[in-house]
Structure formats: C-alpha cells, structure tokens
Structure 1
C-alpha cells in the first residue's frame, strides 16, 4: 500500500460501505454443510464454461503469444505462507524480492526488467493493479495462492486485457471454480522467523445446480529483518449456480494486513556486512542520545473484492461472459518523525519552538468498480472475440498528526487530496485457421483514460488519454512436434500518480516483436523465443526512492530490450523431470542524458536499471514412489545496475540460490481422504545475497564553486537458510 500514500488533494464524495458487511459470513455455514461424496447422476456439460471468465484475457495454444501456464498442482507443494511473487520466481525472466527478506509481507516481482507497476495483473479478468500507482500489492490478499486454479504469465505486450497497459508482462490469475464433489481441508505450516500459516477451506459439492466453496487464512511472521513483522487475515468465498449452458459465480475475497515497515533497506555498508537484519524504520534518538525504535511504525490496510460473473453458452458457436466488480479499501501507515517542523503540519509551535518529534498517519481511502464483458464466436476455423470494460476509481489521500512531543494535537488533516480515474476499453480478437497448419491472429484495442487529481506536489491534473493498441501474428504448425510463431504488438501507457509528482508525465509507447519456436514430443517440451521491445519515453526506475520507499521513475527517451528466452520440460525418466529456463538479454537506454557535476551530459547508451542480462531457473523433480515428490529449485540472477548511468557504485551483485521442496501425499480414504506433508528449505547453501536495492545521486554545492555529484546506495538483504514445514488434512 505504501506507493498509494501521497500528498494529494480532496474531492468530497459519498461512499457506499454496505458491501463491507458481506465479509465472509458464509464460513459460519461450514458446520451445516453436507460433505457427501456422491456425484451427480446427470452429467452437466459445463466444463468449458469454467475457463470462459478468463479466456478473453488469456492466450490460447495457437495464439502467437509468449506465455507460461502454472497450475494449482504446481503451486501447492510450496504454498506454505510465502506470497505469489515468490511462488512464481522460478518462471522465465522473473526476478522476485521481499522487504522482510523471507517472502512474507510485502513482496514484488519484475519480468524482463519491468516492475510490478508495468505488469498487468487481472483476477478472473478483473483488473487488480491500483489505478493510480499501477502497482500490485499481494500483501492485501493474504494466502491468495490457496484459492488459485491456474495462472498464466504472458511476457511482452501479449493479448489485449483489462486495466493498465502491459509493458513487461501480463499476469492472469483464475480462482477456483465450482467442484462437483464436496471437500474440506485444514492446512497448517510453521517455520523460521516464527512464520506460520493456518488455512481452512471447504466446498459443498454440486447439489441441485448450486455449489459453495471458500477459505479463511491467517499468516504471520517475525520476518528476517528486525521488527519486519506481519500479521495478515485473508478470505475467499465463492457461490456458484451451474446448468448445462449457464454458470453464475459470486465471489467475495480480500484481507487485512498489519506489517512493520521494512522498505528502507540498509544504506550503511558496515551494517550490511555485520548486521544484515538491521532495520532503520522507526529509528529515533531520545534526549540522552540513545537510539530507539518506535514500536508502531506499521502499515495497516484492508481490502475487499466482490465479483459477479455470468457465463452463458447460447449455441454451439456463441458464448458470452459479463461481470460486475467492486473493490473497497482503506488504511494508513504510521510514522515517527524526528525534529519535524510543526508549520509543515499546520500545527502551532510550543512556547515559540516550531520543532518537535511527532507521529503521523497517512491514509488512503479508495473505491474501484465497473463492468467487463466478452462475446465469443467459435467454429472449426474461426475464433472471434469481442470484449471491453468500463471502470471507475475514486481515491482519497490525506494525512493526520496524532501525537507531538509536547502536546496532543486536535484531530487535523495536514493535507487532503484526491485522485479519480475512469478507464474504458474495447477490443476485438480474431484467430483464423487458414489451413490445418497456418493460423492468423489479430487483436485491436482502443483504450480511453480520464484522470482528475490534486496534490501539493503538482498542479491540478485533468488529463485525457486515447490509446490504440494493435497486435498481430501468425502460428505455423510444421508437423506434430514443431510449431513456429511471429508476433508484433503496440502498447501505450499513461503515467502514474508518482510520475506526475516527479515531473515524468509523458505517456509511453512500446513496439514489441516476438519470434518463437515450440517443440513438443513425448519426453521433451521446449519453447524458445527472441524478443525485441522498442520504447518511446519508457519510464525507467532511476534507482532512487521517494519519501515512502517507492521507486522514482523518469522518461528515458529512446530505449530497447533485446533478448532470448528458452524454457523446457524434460522427462529423463518417468520419475525424473527437469524444468530449466534461461533468459539472455540486452537492455539499453539510447542517448541517456544525466546531470553530473552540475552539467547535463549525454552518456550515450547505458544499461536500463534493474535489468539483468542473464537469468536462469530450474526445477529438478524426483518422484521415487507414489505420492512422494522431491524438488530442487534453482535461480541465478545476473549482475544488474540499480541506476541508468552505468555507475560501478550502482551494481547489484549476481546471486545463485537453491531451495529444496518435499511433499508426500498419504492416501487414507477412511474418513480422512489424505494427509499431505510438506517441507521447504529455502537457500539451502546459506548464501548471503541482496535481491534488491536503491541508488541515488545529488549535487554537493558546499564543497566548492563547482557542484560535485555524490552517489549513494542501499540494499535489501534476504534470509540465509530457512525452513517451512506444513501438514494438510483433506476430507
């Protein structure tokens, strides 16, 4: 939530809160649910309806799109409390990092060097990215992985989807649909840093065309970093009505989190060497000069999502999907500010002294709602899809001072701002089989964005953007084992609220070229693709952070990413499987300008920040006996620059980590269906590494007549060897 809190103004609005009372009341029905294992006698032909809610934003087999699918079965063995970006870190071109150092709390991912604000994320086809910051905060959906059916990661521009433009990737997540058989499951895990997860899930099974399923979860951890605690509650509830040609789903899910801030990293090189868990958040000095830490330097936020999907199969050729959604969220982070100027907070001085320690809260109060739709026409040769969405975001940003050193202030708001955003898009996708071997693909999207905002950091904004995003490609099936594809797509993207505050307001444009080969045999599946992503005015991270620990971006002018991705599944034997992937890339700013020593200089071509040229991942799986799975997971991330000026001081060292995962499914089928035992040993070789950091510069004008550019860095250490153990009872 941290990037959402900015000094932005206020527009009065009436807010409807009655949806909040729909929190997971249905879980109280659990003791009354009948868990009969009896299946329906009349088979309902609704299997294909399950995936329609996400088919409009997902790539299909014959589409010339670079993507990787992940099933719930692949996620389950490692789902012991760590968040979605960490669970997906072994996918091609993915780099994950965490604030607390152990994968719990605030976690992030980058794909092809693009951060989370440039990765389009949808939940059942509904946008998840925050409308203003465009970031994705999985901490607001604790244990969401336990409710996932499948995930598709599209790299590059991909297909048209709802929400902000994809400038590095699209992450399409589908939650569990209805289950024909009833079930119940209790899962508990515990591990290093007092990390624990408790999950209860259930499903009634399909009875008289109705089914309900749900989950409640609690995750807590002390974190690897000092005081980087987290305590999170999450829930998911799904009610389904199913008929032969109809599927109606109502979903309510969300969570509440409280995390101690750990987003400042370590700036002191000596502490990085000798005290890797040091956390400067909340630090202050008392009147005797003793270092102390404020015990409530925390982030507090709750968020509830409501979705209603209606899927209808009208004929053998026509299927439609329509959805309504509403997301409501509210929260704040609390900070201790030492030697603050009271006049900055509209507060009176104390006996003539305007300087005081104080505690402030910075709030975000937002609503996001809208509708999506799609209509699919499909024959043996033609797959035609029409779709679109209309969404509105209403955000309030305000700050309060709740304590000062010398007096308790009356409740006051020292800033009061707003940000409202409307997003409308329409798209048409067509896939046509010219022959049995050749498939043509076209995708046209028109998107309109209307942004209205106020802030003390920028003049009032009332901007309108109109983007046309075409994509086209072809897929050629050479024979039963080999297929080739080519793709070209254009994406446009508006600036974020933070970018307005930092003066980087030019919209971006991306031209994405992809050329791929897929090989599929009985023992080997392989896909390789070359990509060239050419940008105009790409917003690249400078390496610096703002006052709440969020990355600062700047328009870089011309830039590009050129690379090769290879991923494969190799069945050495029936019991031994390899899943390696590799990314080789070059990521360059062209003619990058930078002010050094008081003079603006053209540095020529420089490396784009946070874009390693070499990434390798692998999963080595051994299945010695039925029910037992042993996996060794490896990840190498090459050296990367944390800034765009190729400074040696900004280099983030490469690292190579390995995790060991074991899972045993003990089938009982007597009252208890099975007991699943899981173990995860992270960083088994106890490597000391930093997966993220920051780099900043400033001109020192005090040392002489000529300004001298000073450089500084900070790092986010990750945990050494650590453990998680879990047990699940399935009924």
Structure 2
C-alpha cells in the first residue's frame, strides 16, 4: 500500500508543482450586457471545457504558467477567442455578438438536455466519434458511456449489433436522427445495420439515461439517443477512410464536401462499402450506404436536404450458438440453415434489407427572441429474410395436399421469404422563445404515419405442390399514426434552475389480429399518454451543481403483443416513474458526476413462457418491478500527456411476483412456478468502463480500454443455469496523425479488440421446458471473438 501511494504521489507531483494560477471572467451579450449562462469555455489543445454559471461567470483553476488560447461559444452567437499569457491569476471577459448566420444546433436542441439540465446525459463530439469509428456497428461508439452493454450477433462487431442501457434494449430506447424518430414504428427496435457506417456522417450524439427530456417517437424507458448528422464545414475537403482486419473485415469510405460556397451553399457526400465474414460460422455481411446533403445558409435561416440510404445482406445468426457447443469448445457453431441435421446447409439463409431516407430540415430565426425548427421526412424500407424449413405441413401454408403416383404429399422441405415493405413519413417542429437569459421556453411536437406490408412467399419446395412461383401464403397490412406535442421551460432564479416538461402523445394502430372468436380480422387500438417531468438544478458555484428530477414515461406494446392476442388477452401499456438525483463538477484538470436513479415500473411487459389464446408465445404485464442504482463517472488529466476516463454503475433490478410457465412434454400441459422477487433479465448489477489515454507525441495516442459486465440472467427467474457469466474485456487503440505536402492529414489507426482473448458471451436467449420430470434448458449464446484487430488509414485533402 505504501508503494502504491508513493507511485500515485509521483504521478501527481508534476501537476501539483505546476498548477499555480487561475483564469476567470464573465460572458455577456455585446448589445445588452446581459450575462450568458451555459456558454462553453474551452482552452484549446488542453482538453479543458467548462460552462459559464448562472451569472455568466466562469473560473478555470490549477493552470501552469504559459500562453493559452481560450475559445467561447454560445448558441445563436458568434464564437470568440483570445490568446492570453498566464503568469498570475488572470481575468478574461468575453462579449459575444449575435451570429449573422444561423447555426444548426437548433435542429436538435428541442429534444436535448442543456448543460445544467436535471437529468443524466453524455455528449459525444465529432472528435470522439471519429477516434472510435473503425467500422464496427454504431452502438460501439457508445460502449464506454455509463450503464451500457453492447453486443454483436456475428461476434466481431459487424452486421447485426445491439445495445442495452440500464438493462433496457433498443425497443425501450428512443432514438432520433436530427430530431426524427429512427425506431421501427411496429416492433420499436432500432437496426443500425440498415444504416452501415452512419458514424461517418454524424457530427455529435447525446445519450440521455432514464426517461430524459421530451422527444419524438417511441417512449424512452431506458434511455434516449439523439443523433445529429453532418453540419456546416466552411472549407472544402475530401477524405478516404479504409479499414481492414480480422475475419475478412474490410471497410472503404469516401467523404467529400464543398465547404461554404458564396457564403450561402454547401454540399456534402459519402459513399461506404463494408464486408465481413464474421466470427460465428456463416455470419458474413455485405453492407453498403451513401449520404448526400445540401444546405442553404441565409442570414436568419438554414435549409438542408439529406438523402441517404443503406443496404444490408447478412447471414442469419439470430439464434446464437447452442450451449452444448459452447461448452465443448466450438464457440463459432451456427446451426441455422442446416438441412436434415446433416453437414449440408442452405447457402442463402440470409437477411436482405434496403432503407432510403429523405429529410428536409429548416431553421428560422424569427427575431432575436423567437426561433423555429422543423422537418419533413420520408423513409422507404423493403426487404426480406430467406430461410430453409424442414418437413413443413402443406396445410400450414394454405396448400392442398397433392397426390403424386398414388401417394399423398402432406409435408415437404421448402424455402420461404418473409417480406416487409414499409413507408414512414411525417413532420416535426419546435418553437423556441428566449425573451431573456433567465427564461427558455420550447414548444414542439410531431405527427408521423407508418404503413407496413407484411407478406410471405414460398420460393421452392422439395416435393411437387402445383403452386405458382413466389406463391404468397399470407399477407397483412398495418397502419400506425403517432402524434405528440410537448412544452418545456427552464427558468433561472439566481443559482437555481427550475425545469418543467410535459408531453401528450396519441397513438392509433390498425393491424391484423384475432377477435373474440379467434378469427383474423383487422383491428384498431388507440392509446393516449401524458408524460410530465419536473426538475431543479442548484449551482453551488461556477463549477459544481446538484440536481433532482421526477419524470413519467409511458410505452405502448409492440406489434407481436397486438397481433398474437385477442381483445381479452391484449396487454396494457407500460408505465414508468423515474427519479434522478445527481451531482456534477467540472474543474480544469478534472470532471466528475454521480447520479442516483430509481425507476418504478407498472405493467412492464416480460416473456413468461406462457402461450396466448391463439397458441403463440406472449409477453405479459408484471404489476411491479423496479431498477435502482448509482452511476458515477470521472475524467482526470493526471499529467500533460496522460488522462483517465472511467465510469461505473451499481444497480439492483427486480421483478416482484413473477410467474413463469414451462411446457411440460410429459403431461402436455403448461406448468407454472411462482417467484416472489427475482432479477430482471439482461440487467447486470454492475457495469464499468475505463479508458487510459497516453500521448507520447503531439499527434499520437495510445489508449487502453476496459469493460466489465457482471452476471446477467437470460430470463426473469434468477436461475444460475440460465445466465450469462460476468466478463472483463480489454482493447488497445493506437492513433497517429501527420501531414505531408499536398495532404492535410494522414491518420493511421489500429484497434486491437479483446487483447487477452477472454472467452465470453455478451448476449443470449433461453427456452426451457420440462422433459422426463425435470427442467431442461435450451440456452443459446452469442460468443464474442478472441483477440482481433482492425487497422485503418485516413487521408484528408
């Protein structure tokens, strides 16, 4: 222990010796002289960034003597910077003038938390994104944020990837792209595989944990992810990004942009192509995308048109690897697509999907106090997954058995395609009124409409069935409308920020489901939600604040909940009350936060193993369940070239009075087991992340990245034999940038994942039943790859 303290003191000694002076000042409006609270003050090349306090004041302590460049920015104002020489405690005041060209931050500001909002959030800048954009799924950019678990179906980060935040999967995470909903309207999931290499066209991201602020689209039960794509770049550029690595992974991206032409116009474009064989057998991916954007910048307005598209073809690994195979060492075994359990498999066992997006974004500064932001959008999606099915009954597909050579054919092997074509369109808007620097009012909302066509075809049969090519054996159409309106306000009283937010949301859903007589008929459901939120932030001083909030969220059942039920068994909507209490501090060489949360659910929907009145597996409402925990994060600059960022979440996640049903094949019945209090599935009690960054040279970085996730259960019974073991995995990231004549920058990167080849599974599923008088577990896991790498090069002109 003595040696440990000695080592820590030695590391900190240079900081203690040189941290002698402070810089402080006030940020004000040039015309009115009013203070500007929440302005961003940055010391360039020092990774120091703070916000001005309620009176517009700021202070940065513990600075060594020297010359510094301080930059100040504030929404709606021109940025300003000063170069100052620090040889004693120094005062540097800034007066900002209104921006003559509107910024695009207002596009997403209505659905984001502000700097001092009483909610838990993490912001990622373009610099953060570019540093980690090696080609893996978009979710991996967020892996080091608090309470987050990311996994890959194929095991190597390419193809289908997914995220959970505070134990909630993507169906309970609200995701918006430029304020426009990205969640699927019916199943409410988010599939970033449909937008390959989206990260290369993203400017910034905010992750809000818990209910968060009002937003558009699906209800936020675990978190909100708010993404903003390309914004204005004033100079022309061209970039070539290429990555290559383990398991045949190759990514090529070209980015081009004109910069600001004639003071008003800009055009940006991206083209991406990615392929990977995947770690799991037959988990290969072919991914393509493009992004085009054009903007007009007026004195008080911005008009931007985004057109982008994604295509994915992935082999199916949805079921994971069977537990027996994992135990015997074959962690890559994929049983999907095998024919008659032989060594022959169906090569085209694939998922195929296209999505085309169109967004028209408009921002208008109406006057010095009032601004408007709105968007029109349209998304067209179409595709299918194709699969081999063994020994299928013809009557299940509406086919009359045929007689061939005197033999009646009732069953056959076949290949089928399950199609989805959908259209999603609508409008979002918000008005922001800021009469002074004490009050900030926002009125916003959206109307969106979804139309989905679900139909299934048979492509091939082993036996003769006399059906036409592309025989369609089922079809159903769905329509969903989603209307919401919200208002929120922030009001500063001295050192206190008062926050209020209220949203009304109405959903109408028309679908093909079962009526009281178990006949398939088109049905309709209407739901109305009221989501109020209140909070308070108290600024202890310019660098420290405490906050508390109470928020209510509501979440509708998904497509399968409605389609596979009758009015008698239809589940209720879920309700969440979220209490958050926290503390934040921002110092010159240190920033940290601690946040406590208590999330109380009513009628949370969970799978129980029961079958509904039409024989399909159902989710059922659990009356009481909760999540309670503490999230902590800190970033410290230990010495000039060395910094450390870490976060940790300790939580308890419980379901009360849970009843599980298991199919008993001995008696052909469903047997129920009652549990008093158990853990919510896929909810680790502890997650932790660490990034130690060292810069041996000015343009070089070595980062050691660690992730720990404690044990997770695959169902809601806390059964040890149906769980994912804890895991601890470490990565190394190397970056080096330099330039040569004629080339602005050449960046070389190397990402080494799982450097110690830990054997772990980050996701899975379980299907237990009763056979021979005992419970038999059918567990499936998603093993992640041992040590693997991605090398990248970026050339910028």
Q: TM-score, normalised by structure 1?
A: 0.90
Q: Which residue of 2 is the match for residue 381 of structure 1? A: 438
Partner of 1:726: 792
Residue 419 (structure 2) aligns with: 363
Higher mean alpha-carbon deviation, 77-86 vs 50-59, is at 77-86
1:492 aligns with 2:554: yes
Greater displacement, 580-589 / 407-416: 407-416
SS of residue matched to 1:146? helix
User: Which residue of structure 1 aligns with residue 365 of structure 2?
Assistant: 313
Cross-structure match for 1:592: 658
Following TM superposition, by how much is the alpha carbon of 1:542 offset from its aligned partner in structure 2, in angstroms? 5.4
- Classify 1:674/1:113 alpha carbon distance in 2 versus 1 (closer, same or farther; 3 Å): same
Residue among 694, 703, 708 paired with 2:765:
694
For 1:100 and 1:274, how far apart are their aligned partners in 2?
17
The verdict on how the C-alpha distance between 1:366 and 1:544 changes in structure 2, with shifts beyond 3 A counting, is farther
The structure showing larger relative contact order (alpha-carbon pairs under 8 Å, at least 6 residues apart) is 1
Match of 1:238 among 279, 293, 300: 293
Offset at residue 80 of structure 1 (A) = 1.7
* C-alpha displacement of 1:256: 0.7
2:689 equivalent to 1:609:
no
More displaced 10-residue stretch of structure 1: 601-610 or 470-479? 601-610
Structure 2 counterpart of 1:181: 235
Asked whether the equivalents of residues 544 and 695 of structure 1 are also in contact (C-alpha less than 8 Å), the reply is no
Q: CA deviation at 1:348?
A: 3.9
Q: Name 1:11's counterpart in structure 2.
A: none
2:344 to 292, 300, 308: 292
Report the Cα offset of residue 268 of structure 1: 4.0
Task: Give yes or no for the alignment of 1:101 onto 2:101.
Answer: no
Aligned counterparts of 1:230 and 1:542: Cα–Cα separation in 2 = 33
Deviation at 1:154, TM superposition (A): 0.2
Contact 1:266 1:272 in 2 (8 A): no
Partner of 1:406: 463
Shifted more, 423-432 versus 449-458: the winner is 449-458
Equivalent in 582, 590, 613 of residue 524 of structure 1 = 590
> Using the alignment, how far apart are the partners of 1:188 and 1:162 within structure 2?
35
Distance 1:566 1:168, change over 3 A: same
CA drift at 1:203:
0.6
The answer (yes or no) to whether the contact 1:540–1:553 under 8 Å persists in 2 is: yes
**Mapped pair 1:671 → 2:671:** no
The answer for the alignment partner of 1:712 in structure 2 is 778
The answer to whether structure 1 residue 219 and structure 2 residue 290 are counterparts is no
SS at match of 1:605: strand
Residues 610 and 660 in structure 2, CA contact (< 8 A), matched pair in contact too:
no
What's 1:392 paired with?
A: 449
Single out whichever of 261-270 and 290-299 deviates more from structure 2.
261-270
Distance 2:241 2:153 in 1: 26
Bigger CA drift: 81-90 or 151-160?
A: 81-90
- How far 1:243 moved relative to its partner? 1.7
Whether the 8 Å CA contact 2:585–2:592 is kept in 1: the answer is yes
CA distance in 2, matches of 1:556, 1:696: 20
1:451 partnered with 2:522 = no
Matched, 1:251 2:313: no
Relative to structure 1, is the Cα distance of residues 492 and 513 closer, same or farther in structure 2, using a 3 angstrom cutoff? same
Q: Does 1:331 align with 2:367?
A: no
Q: 1:461 Cα shift?
A: 2.8
1:417 aligns with 2:469: no
Q: Answer whether contact 2:301 2:362 (CA < 8 A) is retained.
A: yes
Q: Distance in 2 between matches of 1:97 and 1:79?
A: 16
SS at match of 1:85: helix
1:622 equivalent to 2:677? Answer: no
Partner of 1:432: 491
Q: Which residue of 1 aligns with 2:710?
A: 638
Of 126-135 and 532-541, the range deviating more from structure 2:
532-541
The SS at the match of 1:678 is strand
Match for residue 68 of structure 2?
Answer: none
After TM superposition, give the deviation of residue 649 of structure 1 in Å.
1.3
Over 3 Å counting, the alpha-carbon distance change for 1:95 and 1:249 in structure 2 is same
Q: Give the 3-state SS of the residue equivalent to 1:63 in structure 2.
A: coil
SS in 1 for 2:778: strand
Following the alignment from structure 1 to structure 2, what is the Cα–Cα distance between the partners of residues 552 and 638?
28
- CA–CA distance in 1 between the matches of 2:228 and 2:609? 33
Residues 102-132 of structure 1: CA deviation (Å, up to 9, x unaligned): 1100000000000000000000000000000
Q: Helix, strand or coil for the counterpart of 2:212? A: coil
Q: For 1:253-300, what per-residue CA distance to the aligned partner results, in whole angstroms no more than 9, with x for missing partners?
A: 121110010111112414443211111111112xxx732110000000
In 2, the alpha carbon distance for the partners of 1:366 and 1:438 equals 47
Query: Could you say if the C-alpha distance between residues 79 and 171 of structure 1 is closer, same or farther in structure 2, counting changes exceeding 3 Å?
Result: same
Q: Deviations over 1:574-606 (max 9, x none)?
A: 211111000000000112122367554431111
1:469 to 527, 531, 546: 531
SS at match of 2:768: strand
Q: Is residue 262 of structure 2 the alignment partner of residue 200 of structure 1?
A: no
Q: Which residue of 1 aligns with 2:333?
A: 278
Distance 1:266 1:728, change over 3 A: same
Which has more radius of gyration?
2
Task: Identify if the C-alpha distance between structure 1 residues 119 and 657 changes in structure 2 by more than 3 Å, giving closer, same or farther.
Answer: same
Contact 1:57 1:159 in 2 (8 A): yes
